[in-house]
Amino acid sequence: MNIEELLQLSAAKAIKNLYGADVDINLLQLQKTKKEFEGHLTLVVFPLLRISKKKPEDTAQDIGQWLQDNEPAIEKFNVIKGFLNLSISPAYWTRLLNTIAQTPDYGTVKAESGAPLVMIEYSSPNTNKPLHLGHVRNNLLGWSISKILEAAGNRVVKTNIVNDRGIHICKSMLAWLKWGNGETPETSGKKGDHLIGDYYVAFDKHYREEVKELVAQGMDEEQAKQEAPLIKDAHEMLVKWEQNDPEVRALWRKMNEWVYAGFDETYKALGVSFDKIYYESETYLEGKEKVEEGLEKGLFYRRDDNSVWADLTNEGLDEKLLLRSDGTSVYMTQDIGTAKLRFQDFPIDKMVYVVGNEQNYHFQVLSILLDKLGFKWGKDLVHFSYGMVELPNGKMKSREGTVVDADDLIATMIQDARQMSADKVNKLEGITEQEAQEIARIVGMGALKYFILKVDARKNMLFNPEESIDFNGNTGPFIQYTYARIRSVLRKANAAGINYAVNLNELTPVNDKEQDLIQNISQFPTIVQQAATEFSPSTIANYCYDLVKEYNQFYHDYTILGESIEEKRQLRLKLSEQVSNVVKTGMDLLGIEVPERM
């Protein structure tokens, strides 16, 4: 229990004793005392006046006096109008620090057997192109949300749905047949996902040329897009795929395997993984069955052209196509089928879809449809809707080959980190080239991940690699460097035989900076729970930054190893150690490693 929670409970007892009333704990608003006033925490008493039936100053005086008399953590108090400023006793801070140091996995909660089972879907790539910067944000958000929910005491299953069928896949396949000359990842030296992505771009280039030529012959553009030979061939290939044509299916399997091998390399570099991967080619038929089932129950209806629709006008939406007139499925059908398989595989309590905000309407509809079809979590599914990643030169377009490739981005970030940290790393004694490269990898990936995750996920963001790799300011490398600095201090203390593992004497004096740091790390469990409730990696990221910024000020103002008074030195070392532990745990929840040396 942190100090805020302790004082909320004590203030509730005070109100019960003073005024004979039970109070909603949410009315007891505690905040950090402003720097110009004396105290650590301030209780706002205005919401309590209807209970006390007294003036704000008198109410604050009553509660403050009761807390000073009855709550050992309170040393003194003062009242400024309707604000009760509470000063915490020095002994409380040392007890709290001792407790934190003795708590295994501080800040996190292990899931019990009956804990809610939350499934997180993220990544959702297409097998016609490599992962790009938008996928990077998606994967990092999905992984971090999974880690945060686990840390808050949930059971979590991480899943991926691979879009491995459809016209876009056939475009790459057709282009490879026409212009590939049997090229493979081995003969080309390219990752499989990059190789297939090149043919997707090639298809679009030739297709646009065909459309242009037809328009020049007098055809209007929309008709030309439908009549171009390439698109007709691609649709014909899709029909053959649907009919299980052995040649088309064999080519499809071969090219998909190339892509999956490429994806696996990128996922490993990003540090993400999945407990279960689903494939659209396996789920769309299940979706068609569920739609047919809904049709029989009168949940959906069939039009004269044989297409199947859901009428959602009573829900304030429009009509939604579920099966085309030729019986082929749409994305909504596939998502229904995937939901069916997932619910068979796992007793899901909550489903979280990490998908960009351009799909807001899709998930609004999906939630209604799943609820109609009887999925208990359908109505309460969470669409974790995040903004797009934008670049200084505009939006990315896969067909035109203007995306920021994930693999290129990762390699560039690591190389930039190597150059930026060269002076620092080269000064480390006894470091090998391999260790230097590993530090560069950790710092480069930390820069990338932190820059993306510190931003409120709901907002569009502008990605700037140069800003992300800076060793100053609100960046991953700044936090990593502070962690490495603390670990260096602790190594020196251990080498000197200084024992800071002992429990601190409660009479050890604690200065204002030390109190602020202890108070800050005591809030970490609450921050984790808040981040889980709000599905907010940025809450963890910005907490870590605020903590290391505060620690760096403390490090600048006070000596640690050179402190002559043993009890003070032990306190500062123990405090430094706990700050480093919280930073490591917090960064891990973002999927970010922290180096022991840097």
pLDDT band (50, 70, 90) for residue 396: very low
Instruction: Let me know if residue 287 belongs to a domain.
Output: yes
Give the SS3 label for residue 116: coil
pLDDT tens digits for range 159-217: 999 999 889 999 999 999 999 999 999 999 999 999 999 999 999 999 999 999 999 99
pLDDT at residue 462 in the model? 86
pLDDT at residue 160 in the model? 98
Instruction: Let me know if residue 112 belongs to a domain.
Output: no
Based on the fold, state whether residues 231 and 333 are members of the same structural domain: yes
Domain limit, last residue, from 360, 390, 420: 390
Q: Please compute the mean of the pLDDT values over residues 529-546 and round it to a whole number.
A: 97
Based on the fold, state whether residues 17 and 43 are members of the same structural domain: yes
Based on the fold, state whether residues 238 and 314 are members of the same structural domain: yes
User: How many Cβ atoms from other residues are within 10 Å of residue 318's Cβ?
Assistant: 12
pLDDT tens digits for range 274-292: 999 999 999 999 999 999 9
Based on the fold, state whether residues 515 and 549 are members of the same structural domain: yes
Cβ neighbours of residue 527 closer than 8 Å, sequence gap 6 or more = 107, 539, 540, 543
Q: How far apart are CA 403 and CA 204, in angstroms?
A: 15
pTM: 0.91
Q: How far apart are CA 333 and CA 362, in angstroms?
A: 11
Measured in whole angstroms, how far is the alpha carbon of residue 445 from the centre of its chain?
Answer: 15
Q: How far apart are CA 405 and CA 198, in angstroms?
A: 12
pLDDT at residue 393 in the model? 60
What CATH number has the domain bearing residue 32?
3.30.1360.70
Residue type, 268: K
Based on the fold, state whether residues 580 and 479 are members of the same structural domain: yes
What CATH number has the domain bearing residue 298?
3.40.50.620
Residue 401: is its pLDDT beyond 60? no
Instruction: Let me know if residue 396 belongs to a domain.
Output: no
Domain of residue 50, residue span: 3-88
Instruction: Let me know if residue 173 belongs to a domain.
Output: yes
Domain count, the chain: 3
pLDDT tens digits for range 25-40: 988 989 989 989 999 9
pLDDT band (50, 70, 90) for residue 399: very low
Instruction: Let me know if residue 107 belongs to a domain.
Output: no
Based on the fold, state whether residues 386 and 300 are members of the same structural domain: yes
Instruction: Let me know if residue 97 belongs to a domain.
Output: no
Based on the fold, state whether residues 35 and 177 are members of the same structural domain: no
Cα–Cα nearest to 49, from 93, 71, 7, 18: 18
72 CB-contact burial (10 Å; exposed 0-12 / middle 13-18 / buried 19+): exposed
Based on the fold, state whether residues 312 and 451 are members of the same structural domain: no
Based on the fold, state whether residues 63 and 181 are members of the same structural domain: no
Q: What is the share, in percent, of the chain residues with pLDDT greater than 70? A: 96
Based on the fold, state whether residues 458 and 559 are members of the same structural domain: yes
Q: How far apart are CA 294 and CA 324, in angstroms?
A: 16
Based on the fold, state whether residues 134 and 7 are members of the same structural domain: no
Instruction: Let me know if residue 457 belongs to a domain.
Output: yes
Based on the fold, state whether residues 484 and 355 are members of the same structural domain: no
Residue 5: is its pLDDT beyond 60? yes
pLDDT tens digits for range 242-271: 899 999 999 999 999 999 999 999 999 999
Cα–Cα nearest to 482, from 569, 587, 591: 587
pLDDT at residue 35 in the model? 86
